Amino acid sequence: MFASFKSIASYIPERVFKNSDFEKIIDTSDEWIVKRTGIKERRFAAEHEATSDLAFEASKIAIQRAGIDAEEIDCILVATISPDFLCMPSTACVLAERLGIENIPAFDISAACSGFIYLLSIAKAYVESNTYKNILIVGAEKLSAITDFSDRSTCVLFGDGAGAAVIGTTQEKSSSVLDISISSNGKYQDFLVTPGGGSRTPIRADNVDKNLQYMKMKGNETFKLAVKTLASDVKDILQRNNISPKDIRFFIPHQANLRIIKAVGELLDFSIEQSVITVDKYGNTSAASIPMAMNDIYEEGRLKKGDLILLDAFGGGLTWGSALLYFNGGNLI
């Protein structure tokens, strides 16, 4: 028995925040943001919406598209760096309650922008060891809650959203999740960090005054390492599976920066038609970026059952990973 990618869905918050809206609050310009990042706008969740609310909307659709009832989900996994609550309960437990599902395992993982691929690797292992049969995996982020809107080098980059998928079973290798690689290197932990709020720097008025509860990033260093790591990771997984870039229908990289996506695409010989790009309209939504991008091409009728796709991510930790899979959801259009 193999793990199979049965459905994809996303939730995109309504509120559009354009680059020109940043021009009103910080010293920046639409031209700078577009040129350096490719981002034109991003979505921000409403004040009352938490990460689990975004996850819930995406999950409902993912379950329905998988052709199963919520009661058939036997495990819920969420990847997020902006959980509803800092320590407990997990966003996965809150999501399970919203979905009306009880008495199954539900937990969060923390692998930043690589979170969705980490989840997929756990789900694949569970399914193929016959532990669970229908696993809901969700990448969801309300990054606007942990963004410092006075720091122009980070605040223009991020957005909110959620993407969800159901990982089930198949007997056919040609409709399965073929291979996944995940990795990390803590040596670069200070490249992307939310320094305050954890046990190292607890929530205290003096730490909050220093804005330590918000994301900080060494942008330039992260950029260079991202290009190198993403490209070599993909080369490895393709080689290992004896697959050439032209066999891939869609290359879906983590959406952090258009320049990173283009540089990696060129190094790997992916055409513009193969590379999926959504960073222009959603910004970087961390763990949600890959499933959101995947859902966009699904809803456009481009992603079809049987398509061979390659996912590739890189994020805080540092963490990275790639996944090679045949999409096995029903065609929407």
Ligand X SMILES: CC(C)(COP(=O)(O)OP(=O)(O)OC[C@H]1O[C@@H](n2cnc3c(N)ncnc32)[C@H](O)[C@@H]1OP(=O)(O)O)[C@@H](O)C(=O)NCCC(=O)NCCS
For residue 294, state whether it binds ligand X (rule: CB under 6 A): no
Interaction with ligand X in 259-288: which residues (CB under 6 A)? Answer: 260, 284
How far apart, in Å, are the Cα atoms of 302 and each of 80, 84, 294, 332?
Answer: 27, 33, 10, 9
For residue 319, state whether it binds ligand X (rule: CB under 6 A): no
**CB nearer ligand X, residue 207 or residue 232:** 232
Nearest to 250, CA basis, from 281, 272, 217: 272
Q: Which of 159, 315, 317, 321 binds ligand X (CB under 6 A)?
A: 315
Let me know how many helices (H) and strands (E) the chain has, helices first. 11, 13
The sheet with strand 308-315 has its strands ordered as 177-184, 319-326, 308-315, 250-253
Instruction: List the structure tokens of 90.
Output: 């997990």
Instruction: Give the H/E segment covering residue 168.
Output: strand 160-170
Tell me how far apart the alpha carbons of residues 43 and 70 are, in angstroms, rounded to a whole number: 28
Q: Which of 4, 7, 10, 37 binds ligand X (CB under 6 A)?
A: 37
Tell me how far apart the alpha carbons of residues 201 and 56 are, in angstroms, rounded to a whole number: 31
- The residue number with the shortest CB distance to ligand X is 219
Q: Which stretch binds ligand X (CB under 6 A): 73-81, 123-131, 138-146, 256-264?
A: 256-264
| Dihedral class, residue 242 (left if φ above 0, else alpha if ψ from -120 to 50, else beta) | left
**CB nearer ligand X, residue 153 or residue 194:** 153
Nearest to 114, CA basis, from 6, 188, 30: 188
How far apart, in Å, are the Cα atoms of 57 and each of 63, 107, 161, 229?
Answer: 10, 18, 10, 33
Q: Which of 165, 226, 293, 303 binds ligand X (CB under 6 A)?
A: 226
**CB nearer ligand X, residue 115 or residue 197:** 115
For residue 156, state whether it binds ligand X (rule: CB under 6 A): yes
**CB nearer ligand X, residue 94 or residue 230:** 230
Q: Which stretch binds ligand X (CB under 6 A): 29-37, 81-89, 204-212, 270-278?
A: 29-37
For residue 28, state whether it binds ligand X (rule: CB under 6 A): yes
Q: Which stretch binds ligand X (CB under 6 A): 7-15, 57-65, 149-157, 229-237?
A: 149-157
Report, as residue numbers or ranges, the catalytic residues: 113, 254, 284
Please provide the size of the chain in residues.
Answer: 333
For residue 314, state whether it binds ligand X (rule: CB under 6 A): yes
Tell me how far apart the alpha carbons of residues 168 and 182 are, in angstroms, rounded to a whole number: 20
Nearest to 60, CA basis, from 84, 76, 45: 76
**CB nearer ligand X, residue 33 or residue 309:** 33
For residue 89, state whether it binds ligand X (rule: CB under 6 A): no
For residue 298, state whether it binds ligand X (rule: CB under 6 A): no
For residue 257, state whether it binds ligand X (rule: CB under 6 A): yes
Q: Which stretch binds ligand X (CB under 6 A): 47-55, 89-97, 119-127, 213-221?
A: 213-221
Tell me how far apart the alpha carbons of residues 70 and 82 are, in angstroms, rounded to a whole number: 25
**CB nearer ligand X, residue 152 or residue 235:** 152
For residue 326, state whether it binds ligand X (rule: CB under 6 A): no
Q: Which of 113, 227, 230, 287 binds ligand X (CB under 6 A)?
A: 113
Q: How far is CA 190 from the centre of its chain?
A: 20
Residues that bind ligand X (CB under 6 A): 28, 32-33, 36-37, 113, 152-153, 156, 217, 219-220, 222-223, 226, 256-257, 260, 284, 314-315
